[in-house]
Chain A
Amino acid sequence: MIIKTTMTATATAILLAMSSMAMADSHVMAGDVLAPADMQTFVSRELDEFPSIDPSLIQDVAGNDVARQLFEGLMNQDADGNLVPGVATGYDVSDDKMTYTFHLRPEAKWSNGEPVKASDFVFAWKRAANPETASEYSWYISLMSIANADAVIAGEKPLDDLGVAAPDDATFVVTLSQPLPYFPQMVVNAVTFPLPEATVTSLGDAWTQPGNMVSNGAYKLTERVQQEKLVMERNDQYWDNANTIINKVTYLIINDENQGLTRYLAGEVDKTEIPTGQYPRLHEEYPTQAQSFPLLCSYYYAINMSDTGPEAFKDVRVRQALSLAVDRDIIVDNVLQGGQKPAYTFTHWATAGFETPDVPAASMTQDERNAKAVELMTEAGYGPDNPLTVDLLYNTSDAHKSIAVAISQMWKQTLGITTNLANEEWQTFLDDRGNQRYQIARAGWCGDYNEASTFTDLMTSTSGYNDSKYSNPEVDAAAADAKTSDNPQADYTKIEQIIAVDTPIIPIYHYASVKMLNDHIRNWPVNNVQQNYYVKDLYKVE
Chain B
Amino acid sequence: MFSYIVRRLAVAIPTILILVIISFALMFAAPGGPFNSERPLPPQVLANISAKYGLDQPYWRQITTYIWNIVAHFDFGPSFKYKDRSVADIIKSGFPVTLTYGFWSFVIAVIVGVALGVVAAIRQNTWIDYFAVGTSVAAQALPNFVMAPMLVLLFTLWLGWLPGGGWNGGQWQYLVMPVIALSTSYMASIARIMRSSMLEVMNAGFIRTARAKGLPMNRIIWKHALKPAMLPVLSYLGPAFVGMITGSVVVDVYFSTGGIGLYFVNSAFNRDYSVMMGITILVGVLTILFNLVVDILYAWIDPKIRY
Contact = CB atoms under 8 A, between A and B. Distances in A.
B31 A427 contact: yes
A146 to B, nearest CB: 14
- Place the interface of chain B in its size category: 35 or more
Nearest to B50: A134
Nearest to B272: A51
Interface stretch (A224-232, A344-352, A502-510): A224-232
Contact of A53 (B84, B149, B266): B84
Interface in A136-168: 136, 138-139, 142, 150, 153-155
Given A134-B51, A262-B153, A252 B256 contact: yes
Interface in A311-355: none
A301 to B, nearest CB: 15
Interface stretch (B9-17, B39-47, B65-73, B281-289): B39-47
Of B153, B163, B164, most buried by chain A (CB within 10 Å of CB) is B164
Nearest to A465: B39
A262 B157 contact: yes
B103 to A, nearest CB: 19
Contacts of A229: 166
B164 A263 contact: yes
Interface string B244-275: 00000000111011110011001001110000
B165 A263 contact: yes
Contacts of B306: none
Contacts of B270: 427
B181 to A, nearest CB: 12
Contacts, number: 147
B258 A225 contact: yes
A427 B30 contact: yes
B157 A258 contact: no
Interface string B23-43: 000000011110111111110
A446 to B, nearest CB: 9
A52 B166 contact: no
Interface centre among B37, B83, B90, B258 (most CB of A within 10 A): B83
Interface residues of A, number: 52
B81 interface: yes
Interface stretch (A101-109, A117-125, A429-437): A429-437
Contact of A254 (B35, B156, B167, B256): B256
B45 A139 contact: yes
A524 to B, nearest CB: 23
A512 B256 CA distance: 27
Given A136-B37, A228-B167, A263-B165, A205 B262 contact: no
B262 A268 contact: no
B152 interface: yes
B84 A464 contact: no
B157 A465 contact: no
A52 B82 contact: yes
Given A52-B82, A427-B31, A427-B271, A227 B94 contact: yes
A265 interface: yes
A134 B42 contact: no
B200 to A, nearest CB: 42
Nearest to B162: A266
A268 B258 contact: no
B48 A228 contact: no
11 contacts: A51-B83, A52-B84, A134-B48, A136-B41, A138-B45, A139-B39, A226-B85, A259-B254, A268-B163, A268-B165, A431-B31
Interface of A: 48-49, 51-54, 57, 59, 131-132, 134-136, 138-139, 142, 150, 153-155, 205-206, 208-209, 225-229, 252-256, 258-259, 262-263, 265-266, 268, 425-428, 430-432, 434, 444, 464-465
Nearest first, the 9 A-B pairs at minimum CB distance are: A427-B32, A227-B258, A52-B83, A134-B52, A154-B44, A263-B164, A228-B258, A431-B31, A131-B48
